[in-house]
A and B are shown apart, each in its own frame.
Chain A
Amino acid sequence: MFMSDLAAGFAAALSPLNIFACFVGVLLGTVTGVLPGLGPAAAMALLLPLTMGLPPTASIIMLAGIYYGSMYGGSTTSILLNVPGETASVVTCFDGYQMARKGRAGAALAVVAIGSWVAGTISIVGVMLFAPPLAKTALAFGPPEYFAIALLGLLTLNNLTGDSFLKAMLMMVVGLMLSTVGLDFVSGYPRFTFGLVALSDGFDLVPVLMGLFGLAEIIEIINEKTNIGEILKVRFRDLYPTREELKRSVMPILRGTAIGFPIGLLPGPGHVISTLVSYRVEKGVSKRPEEFGHGAIEGVAGPESANNAASTTALIPLFALGIPFSAGPAILISAFMIHGISPSPVLISQHPELFWGVVASMYIGNVMLLALNLPLVGVFASLIKLPPYIIMPVVTAIMFIGAYSANNSIRDIIILLACGVIGFIIKKVKYSPVPLIIGLVLGPMFEESLAQGLLMTNGSFLGFFARPLSGTLLALSAVVLFWGLANKKIRRVIRRQAA
């Protein structure tokens, strides 16, 4: 029955105006994704006035194109320069950048493009088929459930980089502490703001990530005078993945899609969490876990696919419920309202041509992105052939601009500089900034859900266990915690017996 709707959607999406809007959208999306600091929400807001003159379907298609297009571009600077193009691409920095240092930048970029296309296409099918029931499921998740998920995340994701457990925990606690800076969620009481209004919103993730990864890397290179841009003779064959690399990427891409799909339904930092979980899973199932962190292609393919899948499903609450769960869909709502369409649970049935037109154009957009990005892989990969004394200042300048453009505020540049220095120090003492990021990302969700949940149960923690969903998730967290401890004990016993 819905196939006829889809056919009608394709008919609408293939009109010249809509194809043009789609192309402009994904092109702009890729560009904003590549530029560090300028995220999809900011780009969509900037271009919103432009779309006012277009008919509703075309303008939604264009804005949606910017949204998922930027997910493609975000990984480019992560791989080439260790600078996350946008928050979800930080995981791609771990192995993508190492691959670039080994001369496999082209392969990494290509695998990202392919994986994102596969994930996007499969997720759209899922959106088509399951939008309303998935949305209803999303409603069933309340604060206690989000708390349980955050707790589970903190327990399982704490050691992505394989360092000592204690070191990772320490960094994660620092990240959690940093996430408390700002106005207290319930009482509005300022914490650690030192009286500065500028700090009352806490630390924006973008300048922190750029500083800890990008700027820290640049400072390290200056310090050690390493020659990363060694002019290797890059042959055309080297620009694209080998058969071996492609084969290794297939399962991670599929797993990443499966992971990103449900996690995208979470409000807030859903797509960042999906990349972290995917990395963890890939490391767990890999036969060569020691490669992770030094250029394992699974660590690039999985997370980027998860990212794309999560961004696609993040649109489900918007279309099926009329409620945006994060900044990108929120701008889409504004676009709806400007055109006089009120997003609501009956949007799909009231405006089928809009929904199916957008769904169809997402297929087209994903193909366009693949066609756009694959040839560009060669261009981008050869960019790092440039000598470091050209690349570094340009990258630093772009990071400064990106940090400022997030909120039109000097504060973000200062945070960028501070995090650059901190990131450099962290690396020097052989700690990893990754658990800090996890603490910073999951901290707000952890604390807010805890506060909301306790308000809901009138201060009783047992109330969290009384609800079926959160109870199950909390039990899972307990299992993970004890498993971690028990595992060590069992291993020690086995070792003792073997000795």
Chain B
Amino acid sequence: MKKRIFLLLAVCLITSLVLAGCGGQQQAAPKAEEKYPTKPVELIIPFGAGGSHDLHARAIAGAIPSYLGQPLMVVLKPGGSGGVGADFVAKSKPDGYTLLFGGNGPNTQLQFLMDLQYKKSDFIPIAKINSSPCVIIVRKDSKFKTLKDLAEYAKAHPGELKYSTSGSFGALHIPAALFLSKAGVKATHVPFNGGGPALTAVLGGHVDFGSQMTTQVLPFYQSGEIRVLGVTDAQRLPAFKDVPTLKEQGYDVEYSQWRAVMVPKGTPDPIVQHLRGAFKKLAEDASFKAMLSQMGERLDYTDGPEFDKIWEQEISSQAEVLKALAAEEKAKK
């Protein structure tokens, strides 16, 4: 009997030690004299498998080892619309071995929606890889031929129009909300679980218009299934030559979903510079560019300090709209 109790206690102790070890962060102090990096570097993706961040990360991991000096391991940490992964990196040891592949969702928009334990100042941007603008689409047999038609109908029939996006406060909701606020009209937002179901809703006629990513709708645009009314970029996209930008049509909206690499604040400067250098060389790598264009994406590299300014500006310019949206949604509850 005593032996059994002893064994049980031993097992409990060992289990709790193992769990504690798994859950905590690394305890080893960084040795500044060693040449960074001395072991593989982890890139944390705060989104799920198969998404655009995941795909870009795989392309990066394929091309960067020669510039970085070590392999890059892609680790998926999805959850909380990107909040879980971002939170994890913000709390990680700033030794340059844990990078975040962030996006507007967790790094710009989420803070207006909920109380986060991290903020922009918890990260040091290394490089922006690229960005994807959004498009406003309707079904091919819809009565709306331009954004103006949409806006005028919404003014004449308030509360009637419905639009679909990939989720509340997601990357597709914001540009649509920005367009509606610039046009001075209201429409009902119907959120779906991702871009795919949102697109299905438009195709099936369950909503009047939708907000989508360019890459996802390109084949539908080319086959004529949908009509693209506007793109939220600064100038027209080559793949959508005949589609005017929102700015051209009089709505001052410029929005892109960016993807950028960042490290936790407190990372020593030599490491930050090494990383920035590696990604700069990656941006000039021909094979990397080829991989991106095969995915239908383009490279749109911006270096760390430059991107920091853009990011800061994005937060302040979108703060109003995002706060209003958050208040509106909370009022509904």
Q: How far is the CB of B300 from chain A (nearest CB, A)?
A: 18
A187, B58: Cβ atoms closer than 8 Å: no
Check: B79 CB closer than 8 A to any chain A CB.
yes
Q: How far is the CB of A344 from chain B (nearest CB, A)?
A: 3
| Cα of A45 to Cα of B48 in the assembled complex, Å | 10
Given contacts A41-B50, A327-B50, A409-B84, contact A188 B219 (CB under 8 A): no
A334, B55: Cβ atoms closer than 8 Å: yes
- Contact partner of B81 (CB less than 8 A), chosen from A183, A345, A347, is A183
Check: B307 CB closer than 8 A to any chain A CB.
no
| Cα of A268 to Cα of B192 in the assembled complex, Å | 12
Residues of A contacting B78 in the complex (Cβ-Cβ under 8 angstroms): 201, 407
Q: How far is the CB of A119 from chain B (nearest CB, A)?
A: 26
Residues of B contacting A197 in the complex (Cβ-Cβ under 8 angstroms): 79-80, 83-84, 87, 116-117
Interface hits, B9-64 → A, CB 8 Å:
19, 22-23, 48-51, 54-55, 58, 61-62
Q: 1/0 per residue B71-97: CB within 8 Å of A? A: 000011111110110010000000000
Check: A439 CB closer than 8 A to any chain B CB.
no
| Cα of A327 to Cα of B47 in the assembled complex, Å | 13
| Cα of A488 to Cα of B117 in the assembled complex, Å | 55
Check: B196 CB closer than 8 A to any chain A CB.
yes
Residues of A contacting B329 in the complex (Cβ-Cβ under 8 angstroms): 186-189
A185, B79: Cβ atoms closer than 8 Å: no
B332, A186: Cβ atoms closer than 8 Å: yes
A342, B114: Cβ atoms closer than 8 Å: no
- Contact partner of A48 (CB less than 8 A), chosen from B58, B160, B199, B201, is B58
Given contacts A325-B196, A407-B78, contact A187 B55 (CB under 8 A): no
Cβ-closest chain B residue relative to A138: B200
Residues of B contacting A200 in the complex (Cβ-Cβ under 8 angstroms): 79-81, 83-84, 114
Cβ-closest chain B residue relative to A404: B22
Q: Which of B124-132, B146-154, B183-191, B254-262 contacts A (4 or more CB under 8 A)?
A: B183-191
Interface hits, A42-91 → B, CB 8 Å:
42, 44-45, 48-49, 52
A188, B50: Cβ atoms closer than 8 Å: no
| Cα of A321 to Cα of B23 in the assembled complex, Å | 43
Number of chain B interface residues as a range: 35 or more
A139, B168: Cβ atoms closer than 8 Å: no
Q: Which of B174-182, B220-228, B242-250, B276-284 contacts A (4 or more CB under 8 A)?
A: B220-228
B223, A186: Cβ atoms closer than 8 Å: no
Given contacts A197-B87, A323-B199, A408-B76, contact A187 B332 (CB under 8 A): yes
Q: How far is the CB of B209 from chain A (nearest CB, A)?
A: 13
Residues of A contacting B266 in the complex (Cβ-Cβ under 8 angstroms): none
| Cα of A343 to Cα of B220 in the assembled complex, Å | 9
- Contact partner of B206 (CB less than 8 A), chosen from A142, A342, A409, is A142
Check: A448 CB closer than 8 A to any chain B CB.
yes
Given contacts A45-B49, A198-B79, A338-B295, contact A190 B219 (CB under 8 A): no
Residues of A contacting B190 in the complex (Cβ-Cβ under 8 angstroms): 143, 452, 455-456
Check: B305 CB closer than 8 A to any chain A CB.
no
Q: How far is the CB of B5 from chain A (nearest CB, A)?
A: 15
A143, B206: Cβ atoms closer than 8 Å: yes
B199, A342: Cβ atoms closer than 8 Å: no
Check: A339 CB closer than 8 A to any chain B CB.
yes
Residues of B contacting A339 in the complex (Cβ-Cβ under 8 angstroms): 294
| Cα of A379 to Cα of B48 in the assembled complex, Å | 35
Q: How far is the CB of B154 from chain A (nearest CB, A)?
A: 14
A321, B113: Cβ atoms closer than 8 Å: no
Residues of A contacting B193 in the complex (Cβ-Cβ under 8 angstroms): 267-268, 448
- Contact partner of A142 (CB less than 8 A), chosen from B51, B196, B201, B330, is B201
Cβ-closest chain A residue relative to B116: A197
A324, B206: Cβ atoms closer than 8 Å: no
A139, B54: Cβ atoms closer than 8 Å: no
| Cα of A409 to Cα of B48 in the assembled complex, Å | 13
B22, A455: Cβ atoms closer than 8 Å: no
Residues of B contacting A48 in the complex (Cβ-Cβ under 8 angstroms): 50, 58
| Cα of A344 to Cα of B159 in the assembled complex, Å | 32
B191, A186: Cβ atoms closer than 8 Å: yes
A186, B219: Cβ atoms closer than 8 Å: no
Given contacts A197-B83, A409-B79, contact A342 B49 (CB under 8 A): no
Q: 1/0 per residue A387-425: CB within 8 Å of B? A: 000000000000000000001111001000000000000
Pick the most buried of A186, A197, A324: most chain B CB atoms within 10 A of its CB.
A197
Check: B309 CB closer than 8 A to any chain A CB.
no
B87, A139: Cβ atoms closer than 8 Å: no
B225, A456: Cβ atoms closer than 8 Å: no
Check: A1 CB closer than 8 A to any chain B CB.
no
Check: A16 CB closer than 8 A to any chain B CB.
no
Check: A337 CB closer than 8 A to any chain B CB.
yes
A407, B79: Cβ atoms closer than 8 Å: yes
Cβ-closest chain B residue relative to A417: B19
Residues of A contacting B238 in the complex (Cβ-Cβ under 8 angstroms): none
| Cα of A186 to Cα of B189 in the assembled complex, Å | 9
Residues of A contacting B200 in the complex (Cβ-Cβ under 8 angstroms): 138-139, 267, 317, 321, 323
Residues of A contacting B51 in the complex (Cβ-Cβ under 8 angstroms): 334
Check: B143 CB closer than 8 A to any chain A CB.
no
Q: How far is the CB of B46 from chain A (nearest CB, A)?
A: 11
Cβ-closest chain B residue relative to A324: B196
Pick the most buried of A187, A337, A410, A413: most chain B CB atoms within 10 A of its CB.
A187
Interface hits, B97-129 → A, CB 8 Å:
113-117
Residues of A contacting B87 in the complex (Cβ-Cβ under 8 angstroms): 197
Q: 1/0 per residue A445-489: CB within 8 Å of B? A: 000100010011010000000000000000000000000000000
| Cα of A455 to Cα of B203 in the assembled complex, Å | 18
| Cα of A331 to Cα of B115 in the assembled complex, Å | 32
| Cα of A463 to Cα of B193 in the assembled complex, Å | 22
A-B contact list, 25 entries, CB within 8 Å: A45-B54, A48-B58, A52-B58, A143-B201, A186-B191, A187-B168, A188-B114, A188-B326, A189-B333, A197-B83, A198-B79, A200-B80, A201-B79, A201-B84, A325-B196, A330-B49, A331-B49, A334-B50, A334-B55, A337-B294, A344-B225, A347-B219, A448-B193, A452-B190, A458-B160
- Which residues of B line the A interface, CB within 8 A? 19, 22-23, 48-51, 54-55, 58, 61-62, 75-81, 83-84, 87, 113-117, 159-160, 162, 167-169, 188-193, 196-197, 199-201, 203-204, 206-207, 215, 218-220, 222-223, 225, 294-296, 326, 329-330, 332-333
Top 8 closest pairs, chain A to chain B, by CB: A344-B219, A45-B49, A142-B206, A187-B329, A200-B80, A342-B219, A139-B204, A331-B50
- Which residues of A line the B interface, CB within 8 A? 41-42, 44-45, 48-49, 52, 138-143, 183-190, 195, 197-198, 200-201, 267-268, 317, 321-325, 327, 330-331, 333-334, 337-340, 342-347, 407-410, 413, 448, 452, 455-456, 458
